[in-house]
Amino acid sequence: MRLDVLINSEFSLEPGLIYLNHAAVAPWPTRTAEAVRSFATENQHYGAQHYLDWMKVESNLRAQFSRLINAASADDIALLKNTSEALSFVAHGLSWNPGDNVVISDQEFPSNAIVWHSLKDKGVEVREINLSSGTSPENALIKAIDNKTKLLSISSVQYASGLRMNLSQLGEACKKKNVLFCIDAIQSIGAIPFDVEAVNADFVMADTHKWMLGPEGVALFYSRPEVREQLSLHEFGWRMLDDISNFAPSAWNITKTARRFECGSPNMLGIHGANASLSLILEIGLGKIEEELLKRSLFTVECIRENPNLTLITDSDPDRIAGIITFKSSKIEGQPLYEKLMKNNVICAARGGGVRFSPHFYTSFDDIKSAVQLASLTG
């Protein structure tokens, strides 16, 4: 199906609404809304009569996630509630010694900062690195690694500035220095191609409710098999066992797969929604999605540059952009500008000292132009 036809059939935002907030919570495609309605109706009339079919959807979602990030196996994917939960499994699963340190950036979303600071009572130092302090953001991080560094944790794309990291460079450095590499990929999976093998990732986590166009309450957690058992477990339940159909086991054998991080009943409603959303992402292909998204991102940059009242905060280098464009106005502060845009049905966010626009591959160029023009006139 032609992309424009697919877009028209899958996205039906309210007329007059300009949605530029996919870096926060994205609207659902038509197929996702239909999958959730269908699941709710089935529950209403049949309860869990067809639970085995639900489990097939769950299995398919794992397979879709593994394809999306090029994981070696669906067994490397755990289905969790959110990115924060996955980060907590890593932070509080690893064995720490006093004096160990974790390297992060000074631009992280709170989820990828608080969790490491929570290790203070274990004597762990958190190094928040100024990404502008080196010859490149990556070099600034790599320079901070020493023989006491246990892990580098970074967002693939910074939530406020929109800075796209060179994950391959960071992963290669971590591999050489025998440092674990953890990636909060919530701002890139579903927007640009992501390959856990190519970037030498040990741990990757991301919710579906942003660029993957899915519901809140469902997240992927990838763990490389060679490091998975380094994480001690702190949540326990029936879903983590080898045989989840045996409710009277003679021994509690915990699975070696990533399912060991799923202690209890899954969010089947969210799983059905996420399964539908990912089917659209994979149908279009991340290569095509990235192509269309970058066109819109660079168009947004051009529109902002054409307005003398607006100044870019986001790095405009095409290699550093992945969908988030943040800017400020010379006429009005970021928060009141955000509030005025929202009142005029431009759905965006106040981030990084300015306003953040985050269009997706289907956003119309006319909508982007209108939104930027409104921002330039507001004051």
The predicted pLDDT at position 209 comes to 98
Task: Report the chain (379 residues): mean pLDDT per 10 consecutive residues.
Answer: 90 96 98 98 97 97 98 98 98 98 97 97 98 95 98 98 98 98 98 97 98 98 96 95 88 94 96 98 97 98 96 95 97 96 98 97 98 90
User: What secondary structure, in 3-state letters, does the chain show?
Assistant: CCHHHHHHHHCCCCCCCEECECCCCCCCCHHHHHHHHHHHHHHHHHCCCCHHHHHHHHHHHHHHHHHHHCCCCHHHEEEECCHHHHHHHHHCCCCCCCCCEEEEECCCCCHHHHHHHCCHHHCCEEEEECCCCCCCHHHHHHHCCCCCEEEEEEECECCCCCCECCHHHHHHHHHHHCCEEEEECCCCECCECCCCCCCCCCEEEEECCCCCCCCCCCEEEEECHHHHCCCCCCCCCHHHECCCCCCCCCCCCECCCHHHHCCCCCCHHHHHHHHHHHHHHHHHCHHHHHHHHHHHHHHHHHHHHCCCCEEECCCCCHHHCCCCEEEEECCCCHHHHHHHHHHCCEECEEECCEEEEECCCCCCHHHHHHHHHHHHHCC
Q: CATH 3.90.1150.10 occupies which residues in the chain? A: 3-27+286-377
The predicted pLDDT at position 249 comes to 83
CATH of 3-27+286-377, one of 3.20.20.150, 3.90.1150.10, 3.30.230.80, 3.40.50.150: 3.90.1150.10
pTM: 0.96
The predicted pLDDT at position 309 comes to 94
List the CATH code of the domain at 41-283: 3.40.640.10
Q: CATH 3.40.640.10 occupies which residues in the chain? A: 41-283
The predicted pLDDT at position 248 comes to 86
The predicted pLDDT at position 1 comes to 73
